[in-house]
Amino acid sequence: MAKTEAASRKQKVSVFSVVNYIVFIIIALIILIPIWKVLIDSLNKVGVYQFQLWPSQFTIEGYLTIIQTTALFRPFLNSVLTTLLGTLLGLVLSTLGGYVLIQFEMPGRDILAYFLLFTMIFSGGMIPEYLVMKQLHLTNSLWILVVKHGMNVYNLVLMRNFFEGVPASLYEAAKIDGCSPMGIFFKIVLPLSKAALASIGLMFAVTVWNDYSTVQIYITDPNQVNFQYKLRNMVMNGDTPTTAYHVSQTTLFNAGIISAILPFMILYPFLQKYFVTGVNIGAVKE
């Protein structure tokens, strides 16, 4: 009987594993097939609408057109600058705010936490937000892309939950050694937070880099727009110099999409290990 039950369990585990693999392969294909089509179409000199595994006429002229379009240089630098500053500001505010919210002896901590959570549910709306940004003189300025995304309550709550997972004995040991609260933050908390910082930093970076609506609403100065906004308008309006390489508009459109997502496609593999790295590796386990 025992052997029969053991064999039955192995069979169940085996069936579950097979079904699990099949489901995740299907999900992966659903995600990858559209990306693969865009990539192939960006390398295909002849614009087509049907799905192809390989380009019928291989070309990189779409990418060369984008690289050699001087009108995209300044927007690209604007995007790089705002992404770096926005990510830095977001990480600073999220880590400091999350650390403050785990100070259980701090007066008014619960009120502050509820106030922040309230803003996740209710918003003032677009018009009040625009009026506030205008009063702060952030319209027609790249700083709006930095400031607008600098404070994200969802990421702050994630950091707070992450800090709460740090063993309490580490905090107590640091206090016994005479470490100040900010000393604990810089010497204990941050070194153990590489995984969270990488994850949340990537969220901030992707949000700022891909922001199109903010530029459309708040910025009218052509020198202050970002890469996404300028590239989209040039491709959709046909303002790119397609005659230089005789590429189709479809090829150029798809090359623009890949160019917009390529920086994070390159960056993500270097940050992936931090998503699976435990926060307490090498620390005291409780």
Query: pLDDT tens digit string along 217-230?
Result: 898 888 888 888 88
Separation CA 101–CA 164 (nearest Å): 9
Residues 198 and 223 in one domain: yes
Cβ neighbour number for residue 87 with a 10 Å cutoff: 23
Query: pLDDT tens digit string along 188-241?
Result: 888 888 778 888 888 888 889 988 888 888 988 888 888 888 888 877 776 665
Separation CA 137–CA 147 (nearest Å): 12
pLDDT at 83: 92
Q: Which domain holds residue 53?
A: 2-61
pLDDT at 38: 87
Residues 17 and 127 in one domain: no
Tell me the CATH number at 180: 1.10.3720.10
Residues 117 and 178 in one domain: yes
Q: Which of the residues in the chain have pLDDT under 70?
A: 1-13, 47, 238-246, 272, 274-286
3-state secondary structure at position 282: coil
Residues 33 and 122 in one domain: no
In a domain, 260, yes or no: no
The length of the chain in residues reads: 286
**Structural domains of the chain, count:** 2
Residues 93 and 111 in one domain: yes
b/e 184-208 (16+ beta carbons within 10 angstroms → b): bbeebbeebbebbbbbbbbbbbbbb
Looking from the CA of 111 toward its CB, the CA atoms found within 13 Å total 3
pLDDT at 81: 92
Residues 216 and 77 in one domain: yes
Both structure tokens of 122: 């209710």
The structure's pTM equals 0.78
pLDDT at 281: 38
For the chain, how many helices (H) and strands (E)?
13, 0
In a domain, 255, yes or no: no
